[in-house]
A and B are shown apart, each in its own frame.
Chain A
Amino acid sequence: MNPLDLLTFARGSAMNWALMIFLAGIVLRLFEIVGLGRKHDLSRARTVTTGSGWRTVFMRSWPAAGMIKRDPVTYLAGYVFHIGLLIVVFCYAPHIDFIRSMTGLNWRGLPSTLVDAMALVSIIALLVLLAHRLTNPVKRLLSGFGDYLAWGLTLLPLLTGYLAFHHQLFEYTLMLSLHLFSVELLLVLLPFTKLFHSFTVFLSRWYNGEMAARKGVVS
């Protein structure tokens, strides 16, 4: 099979299946979670409160006082990775184009050189996070196969994209195919791993903020 045929497959039926499984998986998992429901809280909620579910959805991204000092690596590398990833995924013209073809939404991207720098920075942050996960006793205790799988699934698209962009390792068309395959793998497994937090983080923060707000506490 020549590189262009492989790319056509990666852009074609492989992408179709990946997108379908991704979408079906998200919907299924959301039903699976929300469908469990929760009992209506019969206690009287406080009427005067500055807290809310929505507030926590946004403000929980700001670290609680004193926490950065206790674990600067997780916060710093975590933020750098997430922000870098979001810039790479959502501010690179070809990616925006991909989203546009699926949703019709469109927006201006950033210069490719800047996105390229962000990709490198994200990869470095991921490496730092892996090292930390392997050496920090708390993280070591908590981590298992799922965590390392998620790490790999996240690294591969960044790495293959970076290599393709820079014409490294393999010939461009092949490298681009590998990039697409790594993205497809990520899409297919995302709903069924801890990577699903990319969706449930909003729900969890909302529950947290709402439950605290009815008690008059901003969480």
Chain B
Amino acid sequence: MKSPIKSDVLPGTVGEGLSARGVSRREFLAFCTSLTAMLALPPAMAGVMAEAISRARRQSVIWLSFQECTGCTESLTRSHAPTLENLIFDLISLDYHHTLQAASGEAAEHARIQSMKDNDGRYLLIVDGSIPMGNPGFSTIAGISNYDMLMETAKGAAAIVAVGTCAAYGGLPGASPNPTSAVSVGELIRDKPVINVPGCPPIPVVMTGVLAHFLTFGSIPELDAQGRPRSFYGETIHDRCYRRPFYDQGKFAQSFDDEAARHGWCLFKLGCKGPVTYNACATTKWNDGISFPIQSGHGCIGCSEPNFWDAGPLYSALSMPVSATSAMLEGAAAIGAAAGVAITWHNRKTKSAAKAAHETVTVQELIREDK
């Protein structure tokens, strides 16, 4: 029989919610220990985090979905058992989310406005999907353009999290030719910190970790130059990949499902972008740590990097040119040949002219008269 969270659990707090859901103190501490490790914090912080989170009021969260595929939400909600990923829903009060909320229509928008009023300056704004700047009509909610809704909602937000590569960097809508002139949250919000949690979709536990950090410390975690939490995005897939020894030994799969691929050799030649992709896939993995793309035999596509869709064909290795064609090379050789013929013609002209200008040397003419 699991003992519930401590009896001095305060009402309206996260601890209360957890207790109500039957999450034991031991389980909760285990969750916090894992999170502490993933956030690269000292082990002692586990207890501090557990305490802070149980006392915390459930954090008000407004989730705005713009030009997105809902994949980020799908990722976050994917679970078969209570997991760290799900913990997020115990930590927060999700006041507005298109897919997950019960309300719809005017009632839903009213809930958003109300939450903004009630928690002014304290709510967390999470955004997924990119914002079209070409024509406000490309993407609207309740007749309000994405841009207007973002700017309005961002005003009273304590912090903003751009979930998924679309919100963080423009993502798929932003890929060439970017017909909607899609931009990222970070390009629009300049006066507040924006935490980018990229990935297509992002690893769910990253969300949990960011939130846990926020609740424990009241601040956002350390971000890298692309605005991503360093603890999750500080290393490349390549540097943590279990197939790295094969890369170093020069053992590569040449095609999908060939002999080498079945041996589990490196997928560099099949276009793996691991070396230039910063994410936690190789360590934290997906689906409760079951696997990640490379382990399943497909190279990393670099989905947590800005403009990864435009970074060359997915199946072209990093060492390959992105767009060079044989037509280009043939054309260049042809131009070189044409120039070569022209210059040869000119050279021969110079030489014939010199030959024609040759004055036969006689012994009298070996001496310089002006010497």
Q: Does A3 contact B (CB under 8 A)?
A: yes
Look across to chain A and name the residue whose beta carbon is closest to the beta carbon of B351.
A36
A13 touches B329 (CB 8 A): no
In whole Å, how far is A196's beta carbon from the nearest beta carbon of chain B? 13
B250 touches A15 (CB 8 A): no
Q: A4-B276, A173-B276 are in contact. Are A11 and B322 (CB under 8 A)?
A: yes
| A7-B278 Cα distance, complex, nearest whole Å | 14
Q: Which residues, 250 to 284 on B, are CB-close (under 8 Å) to A? A: 250, 252, 268-269, 275-276
Look across to chain B and name the residue whose beta carbon is closest to the beta carbon of A92.
B250
A19 touches B328 (CB 8 A): yes
Look across to chain A and name the residue whose beta carbon is closest to the beta carbon of B275.
A172
Return chain B residues, CB-CB under 8 Å to A176. Answer: 275-276, 318
Q: A2-B306, A5-B307, A7-B311 are in contact. Are A15 and B321 (CB under 8 A)?
A: yes
Q: Does B308 contact A (CB under 8 A)?
A: yes
In whole Å, how far is A66's beta carbon from the nearest beta carbon of chain B? 38
B347 touches A32 (CB 8 A): yes
Q: Does B242 contact A (CB under 8 A)?
A: no
Q: Which residues, 317 to 331 on B, are CB-close (under 8 Å) to A? A: 317-324, 328-329, 331
Return chain A residues, CB-CB under 8 Å to B324. Answer: 15-16, 19, 101-102
Majority DSSP secondary structure for residues of B touching A: helix
Majority DSSP secondary structure for residues of A touching B: helix
A101 touches B307 (CB 8 A): no
Contact of A35 among B225, B305, B340 (CB under 8 A): B340
| A113-B269 Cα distance, complex, nearest whole Å | 18
Interface string of A1-22 (1 = CB under 8 A from B): 0111101100111011001111
Q: Does B10 contact A (CB under 8 A)?
A: no
Please give the residue numbers on chain A whose beta carbons come within 8 Å of chain B beta carbons, in ascending order.
Answer: 2-5, 7-8, 11-13, 15-16, 19-32, 35-37, 93-95, 97-98, 101-102, 108-113, 167, 172-173, 176
- In the complex, besides A12-B312, A111-B249, 10 extra interface pairs with C-beta distance below 8 angstroms are A4-B302, A8-B322, A11-B320, A12-B323, A16-B323, A27-B337, A94-B317, A101-B317, A102-B329, A113-B248
